[in-house]
Structure 1
Amino acid sequence: MNRLKLVLPKPEYKEKLMDYKREFIESGDSMDGTGGLRNAETFEEWYSAFCDNLKEETVRDGLVPATTYLAISIDDGCLIGMVDIRHKLNDYLLNFGGHIGYSVRKSERQQGYATEMLSLALIECVKLNIKKVLVTCDKDNVASAKTIINNGAELENEILEENRITQRYWITLD
C-alpha cells in the first residue's frame, strides 16, 4: 500500500484527465467514479461541474453533493484512477450506485490499485462523517467485488435492474 494519494482535481491536471478519458473511450470501458468526465465536452465544462457538485447549495439538478478525487501514483505522478464519494444517497444511489464509485485505467489494472483507492476513499468518508458506506458493483464484475470485500464489506443483497444484477455491499467505519 501507500503507492497512491488522492488529490482534488485542479486545472494543472487537465492533460492527465483528458488522457485518462481518452484511454477509457478507446477501450470502451465504463468510467465509474469520474463525476461525469465521459460526457463533458471539455475539461473546463467537467471542472465547473466538479466544483458545483462539491456543495449542497450548488449541486447540479438530479445529483447529490460529491467529491471526485484523482488517484495519483506517489512514484511518478501518473493518474492511475479516479474515485467519486457521494456525501449522501438518493433513492437511485441507495439501490444501485452507492456512496463510492471508482475506476482504474485499463493499463494499470490487476495491480491492487482499486483496493488501495477504496481504502483511501474510506478515510475520506470518515472525514465526511459517513459511518456506514454503501459500495455496489455488477454481479459479473468479480474484480470489483473482490476489491470491495478486501476493504471489509459485507454483501447485503442483490437487486435486479433490467438485465443486470447489482450487488450491494456495506462497510461500517469506526
Structure 2
Amino acid sequence: MTSLHLVNPSKAYEASYRSLVEEFRTRRERLIPFPLSFPHENFPELIARLEENSKGLGLPDGFVAHSTYWLVTDSEILGVSNLRHSLTPALRKEGGNIGYGVRPTARGQGYGSELLRRTLQRAKGLGLAKVLLTCGKANLASVKVILANGGVLESEEFVAKRNEVVQRYWIDLA
C-alpha cells in the first residue's frame, strides 16, 4: 500500500478535494461523510469551518463537535472521515460517531479499512471508549470495513427517509 497519512484538512490538498467531490457528484453518489457537502467555493473558509467545528464552534443546533480527516498520499486525498466527539439521541439511531467515504476511483484497495483504522485511533485519543458506526445493510463494502475493524452488530432497523435497512455497529476501543 502507498505511504498514507491521516491529516487535518489543509489548503495544500485543495485541487484533490475538489476532484474528489466531483467524482462523487459525477457518479450521483451521496456525499459521505456529511462535511463533503459543505460549500467549498471559498476553500479557506471551508478549512476554517472544519477547524472551528472540531472545537465545537459554529455548529448548527443539534450538532456536536466533529473532526474531519483526510487519508492522503503525497498530493491526493483517497478518503475522508468525520469523527463526532459525542452522540445525540439522533446520532445514536443513525449516523453514529464516525462516517467515512473513499474516493470512488480508489475503492477496493483497502483504503476504507485503513481510513477507519486510523480514525479509530483518533477517537481513542479523544478518550472515547467505544464508537458507534451505522451503514446501510446493502452497503456490503462498508459492512466489511466495519467488521474488519472490530465492529459488532447491535441492531438493524428500516429507516423510511433513506428507504433502507440501517445497521448499527459498536467498536470497542479499550
Asked whether the two chains share a fold, i.e. TM above 0.5, the reply is yes
Aligned residues of 2:17 and 2:77 also touching (Cα < 8 A): yes
2 CA distance for matches of 1:3 and 1:140? 31
Which position in structure 2 is the counterpart of 1:158? Answer: 156
Cα 1:57/1:114, change in 2 over 3 Å: same
Matching residue of 2:64:
64
1:77 partner amino acid? S
Q: Which residue number corresponds to residue 38 of structure 1?
A: 37
TM-score, length-scaled by structure 1:
0.91
After superposition, the C-alpha distances for 1:136-166 in whole angstroms (9 at most, x for unaligned) are 1001101100100000110000022102111
Provide the C-alpha distance between the structure 1 equivalents of 2:34 and 2:75, rounded to a whole number of angstroms.
Answer: 18
Contact 2:13 2:75 in 1 (8 A): no
CA contact (8 A) 1:49 1:60 kept: no
In the alignment, structure 2 segments of 5+ residues that lack a partner are: none
Gap change, CA 1:24 and 1:143, over 3 Å in 2: same
Structure 1: gaps of 5 or more residues? none
Aligned-residue sequence identity (percent) comes to 36
Change (3 A) 1:60 1:12: farther
Q: Which amino acid aligns with 1:40?
A: P
What value does the CA root-mean-square deviation take over the aligned residues?
1.7
Q: Distance in 1 between matches of 2:71 and 2:134?
A: 19
Query: Residue 97 of structure 1: SS of its match in structure 2?
Result: coil
Matched residues in 2 for 1:18 and 1:26: separation?
A: 12
1:41 positional shift: 4.7
Question: How far apart are 1:51 and its partner, in Å?
Answer: 2.1
For residue 122 of structure 2, the aligned residue among 118, 121, 124 is 124
2:50 counterpart letter in structure 1? F
Deviations 1:93-145 (A, max 9, x none): 11110111000011010111101110001100110111111011001101100
Q: Which residue of 1 aligns with 2:25?
A: 25
**Distance change >3 Å, CA 72–CA 4, structure 1 → 2:** same
> Residue 53 of structure 1 contacts residue 60 of structure 1 at CA under 8 Å; is this kept in 2?
no
Cα shift at 1:12: 2.0
How many residues end up aligned between the 2 structures?
A: 171
Query: Do the aligned partners of 1:154 and 1:169 also contact (CA within 8 Å) in 2?
Result: yes
